[in-house]
Structure 1
Amino acid sequence: MTLLTSLPALRDGDALERLLSSLEWEVRSTDRLRIEREIALGAGDAALVYVLEGALALPPRAYDCGARDGAPPTELVAGDTLLSLGREPMRIRGDGAFVIVSRLSASESVQRQLAIVPDLVSVSGFSRIEPAAAALAAHLGLPAVTSAYAGAAPVICRLMATTLALATLRAWAVAGCAPDGWPARTADPFLARVIEAIHAEPGRDWTVERMAAIAAMSRSVFAERFRSVVGQSPLGYLTEVRMAAAQDLLAGGAGVSEVSRRLGYASDEGFSRAFRRHTGVTPSTWRARALVRA
């Protein structure tokens, strides 16, 4: 059961609707916290964060395509949401901010279907975009809710937290932040297998032939089908995934040589050229900016 009635209909959103209706998380805990300095989430800890008061520093790896005053946001303020899929550890910093944190467990099916979604997704102005879902969020973790529903409280809390997570994903996708073609990409099980493998091992020595073997297709059929569904060539998509992974690693403090090696580049120079073509700046410049922001 999901509650998405407040969300607007999508003109071409059948695939998104089907995907959202299939996603379920187990809610391990929901807490209302005053963050005096920071809280830490370990790898494997999926979490939904909703800001009630104050502001949090937006983690460098968060994918938020919203803007405030023409610039990408650098913080989460009251009414904003952050969804972490838990692939990497994360620290959330705030100076007295009051937040709701729901820790979630995602099934293998959820992880597979969200494999091409960034690890950290945030929505600026969520309470304005989704007022009904935000109203649910304001009641998460309140003792009054727990006492009112007695034995049903765990179920009610799970539905509320799951609804908020789904609403965050959908608001993010509707705003045009999602990767091109998602979630239609996951509708093809053969291509989904390849996409999942690329995201799991972006530094592998990938060739079109190896990808085609995973998809159980000939090279020519696979290349044509991949371009038709995904909208770009297999190797073009691989580069896109590697550049996204590089940005995450650099923002986390990894050096240029380490990132180049982990992502399968033969030389630092080759990696730097590819990174600059993709982002417009050198890896070292990106790393310096991200570390200042953090």
Structure 2
Amino acid sequence: MTPQLALERALSAIDVRPGRAEQRVLAGGARLRLPRGAAALVYLRAGELTGTTAERAACTVDASSGAAATVDGGRTLLAGDAFVSLGCHALTLVSQSGAEVTVVPLEVTPTAETRALPPVVFVSGFARAEPAAAGLAAHLGLPRPAASDRDGDETICRLMVTTVLLSALRTWASTDREASWPPRSGDPFLSRVVAAVAADPGHEWTIDQLAALAAMSRSVFAARFREVFGTSPASYVTEVRMRRAKELLDAGTPVSETSRALGYASDEGFRRAFRRHTGVAPSAWRTGRRPLAV
């Protein structure tokens, strides 16, 4: 199944049950914590928030330009921005100057198709790209008199939240993700390194070997690689291995065989690395049993 087809299936079949939306006002220096297992949709009505994921497993999207990239470190969101967390990793958001946010807890039913979706999506310019959905998000969680509760309100709220969620994921899905992976560079020496790692992800790559391929000294290569790709050479090699591991497991390859193919000394070492990267065990990924939400 192609990534595009998987996304179409996931977006059309996604089953989400929202909890009670809440509007929060954060003082300067306040933190908003979403523990692992706590899927949520957050819309920033005012102020600023900086989010840092516990794992390097997030995607950032500029809704206006369509540019997408993997998050390496923190990401700051401003009024009109949004993010969706499927609960695979812990997420901490800090507001330096204060913020007003709408937080909607979510229960997302895991399916085989949802593996195409990123665990966390930061969407910049969400209000400009999806003004109708942003308008809904801004009004979710407003206090109302008990007498205004009517039959069907829960269903309407669920439809509103689903609309906002799908709009955020659609913004991510419509970006040119292939432009960000595999990374491309105008430097032919760095391109040679990228091609070599992709061709043999199971090789025990060292910084010295990679620097030699790039015809650079160790220090110059490490600095140049981070400058161009936004990550260290070691993190990049791990990313390539984990992507290849997902492909092999999706194809039904046994965990032990996948571990050997990627050069791990033991199955347990591979399991630990895979769990750190994805939040689940390789066997759970292989069978599609990934707990997107608790």
> What is the TM-score when the length of structure 2 is the normalising length?
0.53
Distance in 1 (CA, whole Å) between partners of 2:175 and 2:109 is 26
Shift in CA distance, 212/174, structure 1 to aligned 2, threshold 3 Å: closer
Pair 1:80 & 2:81 matched: yes
* Cα distance, 1:262 vs structure 2: 3.0
Aligned counterparts, 1:40-59, within 5 A? 40-59=33-52
Q: Shift of the alpha carbon at 1:88?
A: 1.4
How far apart, in 2, do the equivalents of 1:159 and 1:55 lie?
Answer: 27
Instruction: Check conservation: 1:42, 1:89, Cα contact below 8 A.
Output: yes
> Does the aligned pair in 1 maintain the 2:10–2:116 contact within 8 Å?
no
Deviations 1:56-108 (A, max 9, x none): 00325431043999998931111111000101121111142000010001112
CA RMSD across the alignment = 4.4
The residue aligned with 2:99 is 97
Q: Does 1:135 align with 2:145?
A: no
| CA shift digits 1:247-270 (9 cap, x unpaired) | xxxxxxxxxxxx988327xxxxxx
Contact 1:63–1:122 at 8 Å: present in 2 too? Answer: yes
Amino acid at match of 1:23: I
Among residues 53, 60, 80, which one is paired with 1:64 in the alignment? Answer: 60
Name the structure 2 match of 1:19: 10
SS in 2 for 1:54: strand
Contact 1:65 1:177 in 2 (8 A): no
Partner residue, 2:272: 262
Aligned residue for 2:105, secondary structure, equals strand
Contact 1:136 1:164 in 2 (8 A): yes
| Residue pair 1:30, 1:141 contacting (<8 A) in 2 also | yes
Kindly state the Cα deviation for residue 118 of structure 1 after the two structures are TM-superposed.
Answer: 2.5
1:58 is aligned with what amino acid?
G
Tell me, in whole angstroms, the C-alpha distance in 1 between the residues paired with 2:119 and 2:249: 23
How many percent of aligned residue pairs carry the same amino acid? 35
Whether 1:115 and 2:126 are equivalent positions in the alignment is no
Deviations along 1:39-59, one digit per CA (max 9) or x if unpaired, are: 211211100000000010032
Alpha-carbon separation, structure 1, partners of 2:6 and 2:251:
26
Task: Determine the C-alpha separation between the residues in 2 that align with 1:104 and 1:207.
Answer: 25
CA distance in 1, matches of 2:176, 2:169: 11
Superposition deviation, residue 113 in structure 1: 2.0
- Structure 1 residue aligned with 2:252, among 208, 211, 214? 214
Contact 1:29 1:104 (C-alpha < 8 Å) held by counterparts: no
Cα shift readout 1:121-165 (whole Å, capped 9, x = no counterpart): 111101101111111112111235986552322212111111101
Runs of 4+ off more than 2 Å = 12-19, 58-62, 65-74, 143-149, 175-180, 205-208, 210-216, 259-264
Say if 2:46 and 2:79, in contact at 8 Å, map to a contact too.
yes
Q: How does 1:137-286 map to 2 (within 5 A)?
A: 137-144=137-144, 148=148, 150-177=150-177, 211=249, 214=252, 262-263=272-273
Number of residues of Structure 1 aligned to a counterpart in Structure 2? 193
Q: Against the structure 1 CA distance between its residues 98 and 207, is the aligned structure 2 distance closer, same or farther, given a 3 Å change threshold? A: closer
Residue of structure 1 equivalent to 2:26 = 35
Distance across 2 between alignment mates of 1:63 and 1:164: 18
- Residues 211, 106 of structure 1: alpha-carbon distance in 2 compared, 3 angstrom cutoff: closer
Higher relative contact order (CA 8 A, sep 6+): 2
Give secondary structure in 2 for the equivalent of 1:76: strand
